[in-house]
Amino acid sequence: MGNNGSVERRTVLKAGGASVAALGLAATTGCGGDGGGSGGGPVEIRFAWWGAEERAKRINQTIALFEKKYPKIKVKTDFQDYVAFWEKFQTQAAGGNPPDVFQNAVAFLQKYDKRSVLLDLKSQVDAGNLSLKNFRAGVEKVGEVNGKLLGVPVGSNTMSLVIDEKVFEKAGIKPKQGWTWDEYFSALKKIRDTQKVSGDTGYFGIMYLYDLYLRQNGKAFFTEDGLGFDEADLTEWWSDGYNRVKAGIITDPKKVEQLKPKSALASGDGASEFTWDNFTVRYTTEGDSAYGLAPIPTTDGKETGQYLSSLMLSASARTKHPKEVAQFINFMVHDPEVGKIMGYDRGILATTEQFDAYKPTDAPQQAIAKYEEDVAAAGVLGTITPHPAGADTVEAAFLRIAADMSTGKTKVSAAVKQFFSEAKTALAA
């Protein structure tokens, strides 16, 4: 886990059901030990994640496979939508009773490491219960913080630009690797003038896109212990966005809000939208046009600032079953059958065993895989920016305050001051 991703995570990952108990099926044990168990008896571990019903169905299928391979380990499951998950997790963590293993994202690693909630999994790697081999493009580094292994990626994603291909084609615009922000904004104006539709749905409120822009200019949204930019930087970014809204090349923010949970791109009220590449499948289900992935605009015609982010699996420092938890994580990230079941639900599969095992047949997922391959081949991927404790609260503030600024509820200068005030408080907590 990472933009309008805060909104999209609440939409795309909306959970529609309650907890589901996984089935235990007896069979042979797997590699890495005797299948776990204290004194030969069964062990129960708790696994929690956020996601939709479809994700829950897929995960429970993989758990059935795991329990078949490790019959002495039973997995009790729980899932919520994104917001409810973290509300519940925070309560559990504060009470000293977090789940043994859980889905996690980069924005939460420092936060919960600081509170001694997360297990350093390096000891389980050393013990042979967890392998860090065969990860794609070094994505396993995403879970390393302060010399500790706090999460193991299950999938990778990167920021992308999703476009309405029909609108772009009619406007005579062909995005290319290395195009600049000036070229992008010129394209948006041409789309508005010729196709009578706003060119972008609101780039300026996406924290992770702003991070890319800062990285293109030698800075970053976060440093290891705070913000990597100043008020002047943000004033320029938000003033630019506000002016483009007023110029009509950005979708009216009030319209965007009214359309939710549907995207303004899918509704035909915008021609492009920045988001994580693995979210692309939503547009095909929501809209009736053709949607594609285009390169991120650049400042210098070369660097996009992109990096691979990831959803990952982390473990509780309080778990009584670290070996069994490590075996579970190892199975979930390496087993080929798990890869076939999960597909790209949580991003492009992180390990080569799973990536090679899953062959997407539908166009949207094929496009996602190709996009990440193309980005990697272009040599623009860098190392993910560290996220300090409080990053999740900072992201929520960025999204909310940008929305208020864009709809005229607050002036740019006041919005910038409010953001820095709230960010300072969040990062000091």
Residue appearing with tokens 């988001």: 275
CB 186 within 8 A of CB 297: no
Nearest 10 degrees: Cα torsion 361, 362, 364, 367: 30
Q: State the Cα–Cα distance between residues 380 and 163, nearest whole angstrom.
A: 20
Q: Alpha carbon of 366 to those of 50, 59, 337, 348, 362: distances in Å?
A: 24, 21, 19, 10, 6
Q: State the Cα–Cα distance between residues 288 and 40, nearest whole angstrom.
A: 56
- Mark out the alpha helices in 145-278 (DSSP H runs): 165-170, 181-195, 207-216, 231-247, 253-259
Phi and psi (nearest 5°) for 21?
-85, 130
- What local confidence, expressed as pLDDT, does residue 296 receive? 98
Q: Which long-range contacts (CB under 8 A, 24 or more apart) does 258-264 make?
A: 260/7, 260/11, 261/10, 261/11, 261/14, 262/286, 263/201, 263/287, 264/198, 264/201, 264/202
Q: State the Cα–Cα distance between residues 363 and 152, nearest whole angstrom.
A: 28
Which tokens go with 325? Answer: 């938890």
Phi and psi (nearest 5°) for 155?
-165, 160
Q: What residue ranges do the domains of the chain occupy?
A: 5-156+318-358, 159-306+384-428
CATH class of 5-156+318-358: alpha beta
> Of 3.40.190.10, 3.20.19.10, 3.40.50.2300, 3.30.530.20, which CATH number belongs to 159-306+384-428?
3.40.190.10
Nearest 10 degrees: Cα torsion 304, 377, 199, 409: -40
Q: Are 5-156+318-358 and 159-306+384-428 in the same CATH fold?
A: yes
Give the dihedral sign, CA 85/91/94/100.
Answer: negative
- What local confidence, expressed as pLDDT, does residue 40 receive? 64
Residue appearing with tokens 């129960």: 44
Phi and psi (nearest 5°) for 64?
-60, -40
- What local confidence, expressed as pLDDT, does residue 39 receive? 54
CB 386 within 8 A of CB 211: no
The DSSP bridge pattern shows strands 309-315 and 348-349 to be unpaired
- What local confidence, expressed as pLDDT, does residue 13 receive? 32
Residue appearing with tokens 């319209």: 255
**DSSP at 121:** T
CB 16 within 8 A of CB 53: yes
- What local confidence, expressed as pLDDT, does residue 11 receive? 35
Q: Report if pTM > 0.85.
A: no
> Which residues are CB-neighbours of 331 under 8 A, at least 6 positions away?
30, 65, 66, 69, 70, 338
Q: Across the 429 residues of the chain, what is the mean pLDDT of every consecutive 10-residue run? A: 39 32 30 47 94 90 98 96 91 96 94 95 98 87 92 95 97 97 98 97 96 97 93 98 95 93 94 91 88 96 93 97 98 98 92 95 88 91 87 94 94 98 94
Helix axes 412-428, 391-406, angle to 10 degrees: 170
| pLDDT per residue as tens digits for the range 35-47 | 454 456 799 999 9
Q: State the Cα–Cα distance between residues 40 and 71, nearest whole angstrom.
A: 11
| pLDDT per residue as tens digits for the range 241-255 | 999 999 999 999 999
| pLDDT per residue as tens digits for the range 188-237 | 999 999 999 999 999 999 999 999 999 999 999 999 889 999 999 999 99
Q: State the Cα–Cα distance between residues 200 and 164, nearest whole angstrom.
A: 10
